[in-house]
Structure 1
């Protein structure tokens, strides 16, 4: 998944609906979307916190729901991260890098200022429970460092994500065009479409109708590894 503190509202909503299933209500989706936005605001207003995130290439190609437009909007948001001058750095881990410790799960490692236990880790596999045990948390912190060093640098990552966004847009438009052409062909072959106009001077136009359905609290450095 895309790092939660960098998700767009539309991506969050699609993710929640996919994770919770059909039983989730619009009110619950709105609550989760607002919560994510508030966490992002806290990070952006902070003078001492910083986010370092590694996202797998596969996550950037995965449509979580809401159609390709939701993914494209999310990719375009990620492209702007290096130019926004905000507290976030994003790197992409290419699929060709192969296996590295930590690559099989999503987790967050926190480096906290003096006076706080450090490091602390949260694993999505464990439901986001904070891991305070020093040895275990240190494993996550070390795993993140290896992932960070193996990923593309921020500028290369932005360029790669931009390429994915452009490619997705091109493929979506092509599919949309093919769908429209198919609709015209089907209508033209329909017996009623082949019939002559019932009134002299009247015309029948075949119009395409196919559509392509498309709390960060505390301070320090937040390392996020997401799939």
Structure 2
């Protein structure tokens, strides 16, 4: 079968070239993405079921309070499980080590955020920037507190009434704080499509990595480069 001269021209001009795998950098392993998705699903179930329990409008709309309570309790208890299972992954353990290191460049990043300086050179970051490190530390602590206070509220025989009353107070207000912080986290993710793509596919564009996480290579063990 033959084609007339110039027939391929318009099609070739409008069809974008396929992405070059060499222009992408591996960021997250499959295990890390599974941990993130599973934890996110459980936390969203916790937040949604809590909203149905505490907001009268949603409670009337959903009904089945006993079912909602059961979903809330078990999604809360299971929230730490994906992370604990993910500790079997060497990649996850390596990233936890990065998240736990806070250096001079992280303080510089926070100062730039405070001054609203958006220049990439003013916000040096390794694989994770200072904001991501603070968020990870805060949400990890919040999950532990919520699990502990939730257990006291669920199993009423574990502690005296005063303890359960205090646990309820802490649980309710911390739940509100978590909802606000999660909303901010999702807003930041929506504002950065490439960061979302990295969590979804495991890789990011090279130029994004170099502009947003210029010290990433230095964060890696030994002399391995950004391409590893």
TM-score higher than 0.5 here? no
TM-score by length of 1: 0.26
Q: Which has the higher strand share?
A: 1
Q: Which has the higher helix share?
A: 2
TM-score by length of 2: 0.26
